[in-house]
Chains A and B, each alone.
Chain A
Amino acid sequence: MVVAVDDAYLVGAARDGDTDAFEELVRRHQDPMFRFALRMTGSRADAEEAAQDGFVDAWRSLAQYRGDASFRAWLARIVTRRCLDVVAARRPTVELPPVLEQPGGDVGARAEERDRLRALVEAILALPPDARAALVLREFQGLSYAEVAEALGASLPAVKGRIHRARLELAAMMEGWR
């Protein structure tokens, strides 16, 4: 089903119980939410569980969505909560997301870049969960600082400070790769 309507319309219909409308919302947002959960948890199985639980939570709490944040930011807030639960419930593991596949280029340089980017993924997973959530929402989900603050239920200055500190920590962790 491809619908040329915006999220707000689908949310309205879904709130009235239209599961087809919600299905379209899941289809639209599944990839970014899965990617977000993957960067948060570092494991495909955990990411799938957290993202799925997040969508089901979203369905159940649609009545509380007032449309003042974008649907994506609202959804990100719910999925974040699930990811933080998953992360808190287990000891850190070292299962890594799949290696990035990018076409072309010199093989040696590609391999070096691939290793460096993998190290970056690991470094992000080594950040404290709160800082990781803020950083990943901003850098990889493209949320504005205000939307990140909304998603994490924190103030704008607090979120900005957290993200800036996380970037400095990452830069320090990546120092050996330059």
Chain B
Amino acid sequence: MSPEPTILPCGTDPRTLVAQVFDGEPPDAERHAHQASCPHCRATLTSLRSLEQDVGRSAAERSAAPADFVRRVMARVRSADDALEVSSERHGATTVTEALVTRIARLAAMDVPHVTFALAELGTRGPAGLTVSLRLVVEYGVALHDVAAAVRRRVVHHVARNAGLPVGVIDVLVEELSG
């Protein structure tokens, strides 16, 4: 932590001068009159103004990220560390990413009548299969447990069919009603 700034010999807190130069907070009439004749305030203001200009010049520097920056980040984002193994056999393993499974679950839930919006999240992979948590917005006026049951059936079916993964548990949270 930086030390507390020293109060100027004239009694001025130099932070008020910083605010004046960097944030354009104008001095009141009294301080304005004081500054006109105070060598301490004037010296500090001069040095702060010069710093402000240099900071502006320095900020104009526009170094760019290395050319392969996006590729490297995305390689890690898309990498296998969130991959789910679908099958492992003599001719190689098949994996899909968690992101893909999440997407399938979400789209499947959105296809159920009376569901107006859905978000999906994957939990742990238990012995019975994946745990999927769904957050739904459902139309007002329909039986929520019926909608939830339909969502469960459809999500299990689609994740199994499209991603080849069994779903063990589906937690459904109806978060909001739409008109």
Contacts and interface: CB of A to CB of B under 8 A. Distances in A.
A67 B2 CA distance: 32
Contact of B47 (A98, A140, A175): A175
Contacts of A127: 2
Interface in A119-167: 120-121, 127-128, 130-131, 139-140, 161-162, 164-167
B63 A165 contact: no
Contact of A34 (B14, B54, B64): B64
Interface in B16-36: 18-19, 22
Contacts, number: 133
Per DSSP, chain A at the interface is helix
Contacts of B18: 164, 167-168
A55 B69 CA distance: 10
Which bucket holds chain B's interface residue count? 35 or more
Interface stretch (B96-104, B147-155, B156-164, B169-177): B96-104
Contacts of B3: 165
A38 to B, nearest CB: 6
A38 B22 CA distance: 23
A30 B63 CA distance: 11
A23 interface: yes
A16 interface: yes
B77 A18 contact: no
B58 interface: yes
A120 B52 CA distance: 11
A140 B59 contact: yes
B119 interface: yes
A107 to B, nearest CB: 17
B58 A56 contact: no
Nearest to A28: B70
Nearest to A169: B2
B57 interface: yes
B1 interface: yes
A97 B119 CA distance: 43
A51 interface: yes
A85 interface: no
A117 interface: yes
Given A23-B70, A26-B70, A52-B72, A168 B58 contact: no
A15 B74 CA distance: 15
A170 B5 CA distance: 12
Contact of A165 (B2, B44, B74, B78): B2
B142 interface: no
15 contacts: A16-B119, A19-B77, A23-B77, A30-B65, A31-B63, A55-B73, A56-B73, A102-B60, A139-B59, A162-B1, A165-B4, A167-B22, A168-B15, A170-B51, A171-B48
